[in-house]
């Protein structure tokens, strides 16, 4: 039995653990949702992989287009791929629901993580964050290579 004076501490620790770990134990998306989001991510990544950065901006979610100009998007991807080099290999690792990034509004978000290899970067984690846009299509809201 836990002494009375320590019970509140135990309760607070449990609450903190639930808050920290609950987002990481979310249910995977339904197969149809996962398929739609994966298809959107693949279309986007195909544009990026072939250096068609301006066209990839056109595929972004509206919230992302409102945060970054096409010119800035292109410059960021050029810098990123100059460092990483061309894609050599990509394998989807995980797809799960996620929380909205701090600067984005609440909504439905899916995070797709890939194990990827680039010419100048060994195994890296590549992540696309997708959101259900106003037209009810999954669109890329964020893209990141963890080098």
d(CA 145, CA 77): 10
Q: What pLDDT is attached to residue 88?
A: 94
Give the angle 104-105-106 at the CA atoms, nearest 5°. Answer: 120
Kindly state the average pLDDT of the residues 112-135: 92
d(CA 37, CA 43): 10
**The whole model's pTM is what?**
0.78
What would the CATH number be for the domain defined by 29-146?
3.10.450.100
The tens digit of pLDDT for each residue in 101-123 reads 656 666 789 999 999 999 998 89
d(CA 87, CA 49): 7
Q: For residues 115-147, b (16+ Cβ closer than 10 Å) or e, as one string?
A: ebbbeebeebebbbbbbbbeeeebbbbbbebee
Domain ranges of the chain: 29-146
Residue 124 pLDDT more than 50? yes
């Amino acid at each position: 039995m836990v002494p009375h004076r320590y019970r509140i501490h135990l309760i607070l620790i449990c609450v903190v653990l639930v808050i920290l770990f609950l987002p990481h134990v979310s249910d995977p998306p339904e197969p149809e949702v996962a398929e739609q989001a994966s298809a959107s991510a693949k279309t986007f990544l195909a544009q990026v992989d072939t250096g068609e950065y301006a066209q990839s901006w056109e595929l972004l979610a509206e919230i992302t287009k409102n945060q970054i100009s096409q010119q800035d998007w292109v410059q960021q991807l050029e810098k990123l791929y100059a460092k990483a080099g061309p894609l050599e290999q990509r394998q989807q690792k995980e797809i799960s629901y996620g929380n909205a990034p701090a600067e984005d509004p609440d909504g439905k978000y899916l995070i797709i993580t890939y194990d990827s290899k680039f010419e100048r970067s060994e195994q890296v984690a590549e992540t696309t964050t997708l959101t259900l846009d106003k037209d009810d299509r999954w669109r890329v809201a964020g893209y990141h290579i963890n080098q």
